[in-house]
Structure 1
Amino acid sequence: MMGRRTVRPSAVISLNTGGGASAKTMPYPARTPVLALDFGSTSVLLTTSDSDQVSPADVEFARQLAREAASFARSVERRFHGLANGRGVA
């Protein structure tokens, strides 16, 4: 498991979700998959460390990413359903 970071990042990029934001996995038969995160005119592509093979670290990162994405979704849904104005019910 990847633990807490001990070195502070030198840069932080904030990409806000909203209209037009999307996430898509692109599997390829001849290379490892790519996860595309699109935020309007900005795209982020997540790939494995090597395009031809997957390492144990790649698998662990993918699992961590899935756990944190699920946690993020639950938190957003909880906040959405809890809006006091009643507009937050999906």
Structure 2
Amino acid sequence: MTRRRNHRVSIINLNTGRGARATSHPYPARTPVLALDFGAVSVLVTTTAGDRVTAADVEFARQLAREAQTFARSVERSFHGMPDGTGLAA
């Protein structure tokens, strides 16, 4: 990830777990929406405008995909599964 130029005002930590899921919602008449659900909290990732996509939107989507893939590989590498379906971090 690139380094942020602005100071962070706040950080929201959303932990994955049993109720966490990510869902992509493609729509024929508007831009797609990515929903990240964490139990009672949902985060919707959308483009700049609902009716068009900019080059910045495309770049962000690609960056998001790259970072999500890196996160998935790191989680998989760290997971040591137990017989009951739980795991321990390495």
What TM-score does the superposition give when structure 1 sets the normalisation length? 0.87
Determine helix, strand or coil for the equivalent of 1:58.
Answer: helix
Q: Alpha-carbon deviation of 1:4?
A: 1.5
Higher relative contact order (CA 8 A, sep 6+): 1
Tell me how large the CA RMSD over aligned residues is: 1.6
Which amino acid counterpart does residue 38 of structure 1 have in structure 2? Answer: D
User: 5 Å matches for 1:10-25?
Assistant: 10-25=9-24
Q: Identify the residue that residue 8 of structure 2 maps to in structure 1.
A: 9
Identity %: 67
User: 5 Å matches for 1:1-90?
Assistant: 3-81=2-80, 87=82, 88=87
Which ranges in structure 1 are unaligned for 5 or more consecutive residues?
A: none
Which ranges in structure 2 are unaligned for 5 or more consecutive residues?
A: none
Determine helix, strand or coil for the equivalent of 2:36.
Answer: strand
Of Structure 1 and Structure 2, the greater strand share is in 2
Determine helix, strand or coil for the equivalent of 1:70.
Answer: helix
What TM-score does the superposition give when structure 2 sets the normalisation length? 0.87
Aligned residues: 84
